[in-house]
């Protein structure tokens, strides 16, 4: 396998990376001969946990499987989906889709692994299971949901089943 480097900072990158994990720059996607759609790639954002937060962060990771590759969002993080490379770390995944807005939607996975998506006043809309997401309103995502940006960019939601929070469980009184 050939060693590739980021054109922006010179760091080593893998051929299937959409972004440089050192500087965050979008990486060019090589065109495969005779292939209509780009080969799948995985984008993994790694964020540091903010100082001063208590409690544990779930190890859950939300995966959105787009035709251009997978976008993974770890618990405790937020990710903007869109075509603007200055705003979205995964802009390269949507570069060929002009109907996806520059700032299309925001995906959030809280510390306990609950995921939501919010439309950012996109031109052509954000949809979950065919229902339009109202701009500015967060809609909960579950494993198996289908997220669609604009008319033709769909992704299946893969979210591991969450263990119940022990504090939310109650035992009936036994007499």
Domain parsing of the chain, residue ranges:
39-47+57-160
In this prediction the pTM is 0.62
pLDDT string in tens for the chain (175-residue length): 567 887 777 888 777 777 776 766 677 665 544 444 433 334 433 333 333 444 555 566 899 988 888 888 888 899 999 999 999 999 988 989 999 999 999 999 998 889 999 999 999 999 999 999 999 999 999 999 999 999 989 999 998 765 555 555 555 555 5
Predicted pLDDT of residue 56: 52
DSSP 140-165: EE-TT-EEEETTTEEEEEE-PPPPPP
List, edge to edge, every strand of the sheet that includes 42-44.
42-44, 69-74, 61-66, 153-158, 146-149, 126-128, 131-132
Predicted pLDDT of residue 72: 87
Predicted pLDDT of residue 45: 37
Distances (CA, A) of 159 to 62, 64, 73, 95, 124: 5, 9, 10, 25, 26
Q: What is the dihedral of CA 90, 92, 93, 96, to 10 degrees?
A: 150
Q: What is the CATH number of domain 39-47+57-160?
A: 2.60.200.20
Short-list 68, 160, 151, CA closest to 115: 160
Q: Characterize the bridge pairing of strands 61-66 and 153-158.
A: antiparallel
Q: Please, what sign has the CA dihedral across residues 105, 39, 160, 145?
A: positive
């Amino acid at each position: 396998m050939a060693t590739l480097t980021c054109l922006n900072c010179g760091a080593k990158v893998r051929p299937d990376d959409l972004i440089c994990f050192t500087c965050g720059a979008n990486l060019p996607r090589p065109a495969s001969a005779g292939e209509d759609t780009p080969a799948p790639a995985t984008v993994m954002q790694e964020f540091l946990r903010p100082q001063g937060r208590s409690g544990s962060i779930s190890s859950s990771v939300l995966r959105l499987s787009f035709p251009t590759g997978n976008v993974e969002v770890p618990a405790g993080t937020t990710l903007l989906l869109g075509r603007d490379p200055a705003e979205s770390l995964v802009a390269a995944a949507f570069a060929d889709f002009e109907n996806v807005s520059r700032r299309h939607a925001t995906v959030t996975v809280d510390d306990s692994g609950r995921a939501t998506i919010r439309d950012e006043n996109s031109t052509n809309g954000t949809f979950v299971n065919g229902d339009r997401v109202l701009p500015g309103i967060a809609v909960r995502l579950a494993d198996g949901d289908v997220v669609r940006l604009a008319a033709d960019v769909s992704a299946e939601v893969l979210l591991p089943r969450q263990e119940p929070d022990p504090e939310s469980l109650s035992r009936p009184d036994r007499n």
